[in-house]
Amino acid sequence: MSEIDFKNILKVIEREMKEASKIFFEEKPKENYKMKGKNDYVTIVDFKVQEYLKEKLLNLIENSSLLAEEDGLDKTSFSKYTWILDPVDGTTNLFHSLDHSVISLALMEDREIVIGAIYDPFKDEFFSAIKNKGAYLNGKKISVSNVEKFENAIIGVGTGGSRMDRTDETFEMLRFIFDNTAGIRRIGSAALETVYVACGRYDGFIEDGLNIWDYAAGKIIAQEAGAVVFDFHGEEINTQRKGGIICGNKIVTDALKRFTY
């Protein structure tokens, strides 16, 4: 039995994430940014949100550590309690004023995700989950859709990350989904799209080539909402490596499993 009161921890991080999100509206990302790679922006907002939350989180749980996007992936940073933070998931959207960007935060206990929290400041929506306690949106319980036929499903598709050099495979995947479902959606934030599955706005989501900070919070929220969640090897998502995410109800994930390798 953990000595940490996860329910109280969640209340604190909700407050701090909402406070940090004010930075989204105070700074001008187009005036202070750099490129980390092709179509990979990092802005003053990313750094300031991360800086603000880093201090708060490390003080919240004694001897905890932080793995955050703008610090990079450092395996030595894991401890008994490790925070996984993406200060802005959807930075390209933020840069282009598309208003589909979120703060994504997870807590791992002994390498197992036990809390997930994703805050969308543009819609004032706070998605959250504690292991074995269900998933919630602004305090109300949420669940995945009950779509019964893949042909009636709306599927979110991510095309970034490692798909950049797999054009033919990516468009084959898009073509299959286009031909066999009610439609494709692409927001450009894996965290946001995963929780859209959790609350039933999407029927499924699929994206490869993600880092742990892209999927950690969304993974537990989707699972606690009843989603089937696995990686592109058809396995439980591994928090130790880069990978993808496929999620939705069983009917949807059975159809999307064709893209595992």
Q: What percent of the chain has pLDDT over 90?
A: 77
**Domains within the chain, CATH numbers bracketed:** 6-141 (3.30.540.10), 150-259 (3.40.190.80)
Whose tokens are 């880092």? That residue is 211
Looking at residues 93-116, what average pLDDT do you find? 95
The whole-angstrom separation of Cα 155 and Cα 144 is: 13
Contact 217/52 with Cβ under 8 angstroms?
no
**Residue 50: count of CB within 10 angstroms of its CB:** 21
The per-residue pLDDT for range 118-144, each reduced to its tens digit, is 999 999 999 999 999 999 999 999 999
Across residues 156-184, what is the average pLDDT? 87
Band of pLDDT at residue 28, cut at 50, 70 and 90: confident
How crowded is residue 140: how many other Cβ atoms within 10 Å of its Cβ? 7
Q: Which of 7, 257, 256, 235 minimizes the C-alpha distance to 131? A: 7
User: C-alpha dihedral over 99, 103, 104, 109, to 10 degrees?
Assistant: -170
Looking at residue 42, what is its pLDDT?
78
Amino acid at 164: M
- Per-residue pLDDT at 1 exceeds 50: no
| Cα 259 to Cα 85: distance, rounded to the nearest angstrom | 28
